[in-house]
Amino acid sequence: MFIEMLAAMAVVSGGAAPAQQDPQVGARVAPRGDYRDSCSGEYVNRGRLYADCRTDRGRIRGTSIELNRCSDYEIRNDNGLLVCGPYRGQYEDRPGGGGGNDGPGWPGGGGGGGRGSITIYRDADFRGASFRFDGEVPNLANTGFNDAISSMQFRGTWEACTDAYYRGQCQTFTDDIRNLQRWGMNDRISSLRPVGRGGRW
The structural domains of the chain, with segments of one domain joined by +, span: 34-91, 117-194
Amino acid 144: pLDDT: 84
Amino acid 10: pLDDT: 47
Amino acid 96: pLDDT: 35
Separation CA 40–CA 29 (nearest Å): 15
* Cβ neighbours around 109 below 10 Å, total: 23
**What are phi and psi for residue 28, nearest 5 degrees?**
-80, 125
Please report, for residues 25, 73, 198, the alpha-carbon distance to residue 134 in angstroms, rounded to integers and kept in the order given.
Answer: 43, 38, 19
H-type alpha helices, the chain = 2-25
Separation CA 137–CA 143 (nearest Å): 10
Amino acid 142: pLDDT: 79
* Cβ neighbours around 71 below 10 Å, total: 9
Amino acid 152: pLDDT: 93
Question: What residues does 90 pair with on adjacent strands?
Answer: 64
Amino acid 174: pLDDT: 86
Question: What residues does 11 pair with on adjacent strands?
Answer: none
Sign of CA dihedral 79, 82, 88, 89: negative
Amino acid 17: pLDDT: 42
CATH number (2.60.20.10, 2.40.40.20, 3.30.70.20, 2.102.10.10) of 117-194 reads: 2.60.20.10
Amino acid 156: pLDDT: 86
Amino acid 13: pLDDT: 47
Q: Name the strand (E) or helix (H) holding 193.
A: strand 191-194
Q: In the chain, which residues have pLDDT < 70?
A: 1-30, 93-115, 197-201
Amino acid 44: pLDDT: 83
